[in-house]
Amino acid sequence: MDLRTRKLLDKSFSALGVIAILFMALFLVVILAPIIAKGSGAFIFRGTVEYRKLMFDIWNRGDEKALAEEMQIVAKARKPVYEMMDDFRRELAAMPSSERRKYRRALNDVEKNIENLLGPNPDDREPVLMRQRYGQTRWDMARKHLKDVLYATEWDYSGGMGVKVYVPRQDFFTGTSIEELFPYIEENIDAMMAPRLTLYLRFLTDDSRDSHFFGGIWPELLGTIYLTLGAMLFAVPMGVIAAIYFCEYAKQGLVISYLRICITTLAGVPSIVFGLFGLAFFLNTIRVSESKSVLAGSLTLALLILPTIIRASEEAIMAVPSTYKEAALSLGAGKWRTVMTVILPAALPGILTGIVISMGRAAGETAPIIFTAAVSVGKALNLDEVFTNPSPALPWNIYNLCTEHEAVDQIRHVQFGMVFSLIAVVLFLNITAIVVRARVQKNLRN
Amino acid sequence: MKSNGLHISARQDFIRRGGELIGRSLLFSVASVSAVAVLFIFYFIAKDAFPFFNQEGYGEFFTSPNWYPTGHPPEFGALAIFFGSALVTTGAVVFSVPLGVAAAMCLSDILPFWMRQIFKPTIEILAAIPSVAYGFFALVVFAPLLQENGGFALATGIWIVGLPVATIGVVVMSDVITSMLPFRSKPAALTLGLALLLEAGVILTLFKTSSALYGMEISSGTNALNVSIILGIMALPTIVSVSEDALQSVGRELREGSYALGATRAETIIKVVLPASISGILAAVILGIMRAIGETMVVWMASGNAARIPTPFYNLLQPVRTLTATIAGDMGEADHVTGSSRYHVLFAMAFCLLLFSFAMNLITEAFTRRYRKKLGK
């Protein structure tokens, strides 16, 4: 081959590698960016007056007097809306029946959408469901619902495939007394909703209300904390002891190589199989609890992360210079004492790194807890209930809310908030591990 | 008899030895927990799997694509589900192996040390993101995107991937062809002309393919392509870190020998380093496959969960259903009919997954051992 061609190939080869790495970085950004951007919307958003009313009604938060004043101002801005609708109802009653039917249906639609946006008519009885008791609490959602008030959605099939078209409702009602309603709402939506920048950090520590329409994610978060800590409680002692055995006591032989194959096999078992095993063994055979429980889930997760912990601890123990060990032994310390007083302290940062990384893994795993620990709806558990009760958990409820919830589109902010919280926890753990390890490596090099 | 601190009585010696023996066996029993767990997993999955085969036989499960577990009579043909798993895994491998191996080569041989230090955490974070977050991304962000702009994205993707690769191919081809011609010195004009001609052909082909892709309607964003890409991204960290290990374990001597013979860096990597570490890279690929085939949440959320073989079978734009998603999705309903075929069939699937991952593990182990041995480590 020509020398120039070879050089060109060499350069393009390097470029290929760099592009591959840049692609990986790009994936990371592309995946994290929307989750962080929209997830932070669960914590910082423009809350409407409905949000403040809700907070006061449920948790007694906020200044009662200020709220009452604000409610008055808002009610004043909303009053013409209800008046115009009343007027139109009267006008409707006087219409010939064919006209009346046509308008009646359209008016129902408008009423429903306005109720969605502003909450129930103040003169009506209070609805049963909490989600019907309040209007839109978030400004971004209010804007969406405003569009539903102003425009009717229709499908245009003229081109074969159905195309969504938005038809202004005002056109439909032209010539009636309600015509003025639409421009009025559009212009005065700010006064009617009073959006204000809100920081809702208690999203993390509030219970959810009315199946996640309102409130926070505390039961899920707490469930995840229980499950993770429970798993660590079982896996860490076992994993570290196993690593000590493999590094310091075991002699190379058939049994040990068999054990090692078992560990790699365990690491390769698909997580859903762990879930089935947890169901078949912990719940159906030895019956650690009557139903699904945090305990069963923790045990299953512990098995899942055991190989990771063993490997990380082994590596950390191996990395301790053998001079340490020799010095301790030459001072007359026994093997066990050497391990406990010299090797383990020296290997501790490495072991901790492994533990922290597997904590992140345990917190994020979904498949093993589906059949063993997770429920879709539940209260935050007390510590003594974890042995018998199932709990909601972040990973499972993320799945549940974005696939099985009755109003998937209306609680997007909760879903994103949950994913954001989960990722924040996991990334925090991992970044801690990365930083600790970098420190340790620096120390070792010195 | 009193001990004076230095002298050890027979009794104390016995106690000490006995204590050590007990301690050792305690340590051993803790260390073998994982082995016991593996045995238990095999036993308990098999125990609930075999009743299914006893009740329904083997034939239908492995050969029929009809999956109607709630029908009357129920049909348990899992062929389409096996195929779905295979399809998305293949897609993930095709997507991630070239990218991952290229990235590993770059990390181990091309980038300077400090840049490696920056990129390694990126890979770790990519590995740390929980699978349910990937699934959420696939379902909520990626699927609508794919559905609305899928044709455009595919066409652009073809250009981004196809053009550089084909151009390099064209340059090499024209060079090789002209050097085969019976001229004493290579005529540069001829090489250039040939290259331009081939390049024109490439661009034409790309243009045709991309315009065909551009006009394509994607009926649903939750399909095999979506899942393949996300699974590929999830498998990338494994592939990169394992194959980088393999590449690194090829010593400096081999590389320096190759450079001394006048090879460029690319030639060194492809002709010397890669063959020396090929078993390690294969191990990386297998680990990537295992990661993809065992993944549950992404496929459950974003694959569309339709238990039928796409038409034609390689059509990634249709929804599929995988083994893991079937287990996760059906167990909720089959749970309260414990003992029925519908319950046991899920264990049969899990058993197949388990056997597959066990076999793959043994193969990986063999490969890793081989390259360690070959390199004398």
Q: Would you call B34 and A263 a contact, using CB atoms and an 8 Å cutoff? A: yes
Name the residue among A8, A10, A273 with its Cβ closest to that of B353. A273
Average pLDDT of the residues in B116-133? 90
The verdict on residue B339 lying in a domain is yes
Chain B residue numbers with beta carbons less than 8 Å from the beta carbon of A273 are: 41, 45, 294, 350, 353-354
Q: Quick one: average pLDDT of B218-244?
A: 91
Helices (H), A204-293: 218-244, 254-268, 271-277
A229 near A324, Cβ under 8 Å? no
pLDDT at B293 over 90: yes
> Higher confidence at residue B358 or residue B57?
B358
A2 pLDDT exceeds 80?
A: no
pLDDT at residue A162 above 80?
Answer: no
Q: Does residue B177 sit in helix, strand or coil?
A: helix
Reported as a single tens digit per residue, the pLDDT across B235-285 is 999 999 999 989 988 888 999 999 999 999 989 998 999 998 888 899 999
> What confidence tens digit (pLDDT) does each residue in A230-249 have?
999 999 999 999 999 998 88
A415 burial (CB, 10 Å; 0-12 / 13-18 / 19+) is buried
What is the reported pLDDT for B85? 94
Per-residue pLDDT band at B3 (split at 50, 70, 90) = very low
- B107, with CB counted inside 10 A (0-12, 13-18, 19+), is buried
Statement: residue A93 has pLDDT above 90: no
pLDDT 10s digits, A271-296: 999 999 999 999 989 888 888 899 99
Taking contacts as CB-CB distances below 8 angstroms, the residues of chain B near A236 are none
The residue that leads in pLDDT, A161 or A325, is A325
Which residues, at least 6 apart from A206, have a Cβ–Cβ distance to it below 8 Å? Answer: A59, A215, A216, A217, A218
Residue A96 makes CB contacts below 8 A (sequence gap 6+) with none
Record: contact B40-A277, CB cut-off 8 A: yes
Tell me the nearest-neighbour CA distance from A17 into chain B, angstroms: 5
Question: B 192-211 residues with CB below 8 A of A?
Answer: none
**What pLDDT shows up at residue B1?**
46
Q: List beta partners, residue A165.
A: A154
Ranking A151-160, A334-343, A347-356, B119-128 by mean pLDDT, the lowest is A151-160
Residue B362, in any domain of the structure: yes
For residue B30, the chain A residues in CB contact (below 8 A) are 237-238, 241-242, 245
Residue A359 is predicted with a pLDDT of 93
* Amino acid in the structure at residue A96: P
Close Cβ partners of A185 (under 8 Å, ≥ 6 residues apart):
A81, A114, A146, A149, A150, A192
Region of poorest pLDDT, from A14-23, A189-198, A435-444, B11-20: A435-444
Domains belonging to chain A, first-starting first, are: 47-199 (no CATH), 218-445 (1.10.3720.10)
Q: Does A344 touch chain B (CB under 8 A)?
A: no
> How sure is the predictor about B336, in pLDDT bands with cuts at 50, 70 and 90?
low
Give the C-alpha separation, B44 to B36, whole Å: 12
Task: Give the number of other CB atoms < 10 A from CB of residue B241.
Answer: 20
Query: What angle separates helix A3-39 from helix B113-128, to the nearest 10 degrees?
Result: 40
| B319 and B304 Cβ atoms separated by less than 8 Å | yes
In a domain, B159, yes or no: no
CATH number of the domain to which B241 belongs: 1.10.3720.10
Question: Chain A partners of B124 at a C-beta cutoff of 8 Å?
Answer: 430, 434
Q: Is B364 on the interface with A (CB under 8 A)?
A: yes
A360-375 pLDDT tens trace: 999 999 999 999 998 8
Cβ contact B335–A371 (<8 Å): yes
Domain count, chain B: 1
Q: Which of A148-152, A314-318, B182-186, B224-228 has the lowest mean pLDDT?
A: B182-186
Q: Which two tokens stand for residue A114?
A: 């306005």
Single out the residue of B119, B98, B121 nearest to residue B107, CA to CA: B119
Q: Token pair of B5, please?
A: 């601190």
Give contacts of A 80-109 with B, CB under 8 A.
Answer: none
> From the list A259, A281, A430, which residue is nearest B40 (CB)?
A281
Residue B118, pLDDT > 90, answer: no
% of chain B exceeding 70 in pLDDT:
94
A357 Cβ under 8 Å from any chain B Cβ: yes
Residues 404-423 of A with CB under 8 A from B: 412, 415-416, 419, 422-423
**A88-102, A217-231, A274-288, A352-366: the lowest-pLDDT one:** A88-102
Say whether pLDDT at B40 is over 90.
Answer: yes
Does residue B228 form part of some domain? yes
Residues B243, A11: Cα–Cα separation, whole Å: 22
At a CB cut-off of 8 Å and minimum separation 6, what does B282 contact? B367
- Residue A403 sits at the chain B interface (C-beta within 8 Å): yes
Residues of chain A neighbouring B23 (CB-CB closer than 8 A): 336
Q: Shortest CA distance to B293 belongs to which of B82, B149, B64?
A: B82
Q: How many CA atoms lie within 13 A of B134 on its CB side?
A: 30
Mean pLDDT for chain B? Answer: 87
Tokens of A407: 């109003």
Q: Look at residue B302 and tell me if it is in a domain.
A: yes
Q: Answer yes or no: are the C-beta atoms of B46 and B352 closer than 8 Å.
A: no
Mean pLDDT across A165-193: 86
Number of alpha carbons in the 13 Å side-chain half-sphere of residue A426: 27
pLDDT at B239: 94
In a domain, B129, yes or no: yes
Q: Output the six-digit token pair for A134.
A: 């309040």
- In a domain, residue B28? The reply is no
CB within 8 Å of A384: residues ≥ 6 apart = none
Q: How many CB atoms lie within 10 A of CB A167?
A: 13
List of chain A residues whose C-beta atoms are within 8 Å of the C-beta of residue B331: 276, 279, 370-371
Asked if the model's pLDDT at residue B233 lies above 70, the reply is yes
Residue type, A363: A
Instruction: Tell me, rounded to whole angstroms, the distance of Cα A290 from its chain centroid.
Output: 28
Residue at B288 is within a domain: yes
B307 touches chain A (CB under 8 A): no
pLDDT at B375 over 70: no
Cα separation, B62 vs B345, whole angstroms: 12
- Rg for chain A (alpha carbons), in Å? 31
At B338, is the pLDDT very low, low, confident or very high (cuts 50, 70, 90)? low
Structural tokens at position B352: 């197949």
Average pLDDT value for residue range B334-353: 82
Domain of residue B303 covers 45-149+222-374
- Binary contact (A1, B179; C-beta < 8 A): yes
What is the rounded CA–CA span in Å between residue B73 and residue B53?
Answer: 16
| Amino acid letter, residue B70 | T
- Touching check for A432 and chain B: CB below 8 Å? no
Interface contact A365-B269, CB threshold 8 A: no
Smallest CA–CA distance, residue B266 to chain A, in Å, is: 5
Separation CA A90–CA A172 (nearest Å): 18
CA distance B281 to B271: 14
Nearest to B122 among A8, A28, A274 (CB): A28
pLDDT tens, position by position, B103-113: 999 999 888 88
| A-interface mutation test, from B167, B170, B296, most A Cβ less than 10 A away | B296
Res A181 pLDDT > 80: yes
How confident is the model at residue B131, as a pLDDT?
94
- pLDDT the model gives residue B173: 82
Q: Please indicate whether residue B306 or residue B191 has the higher confidence score (pLDDT).
A: B306
**Contact present, A81 and A115 (Cβ < 8 Å):** no
Q: How far is B222 from chain A (nearest CA, A)?
A: 12
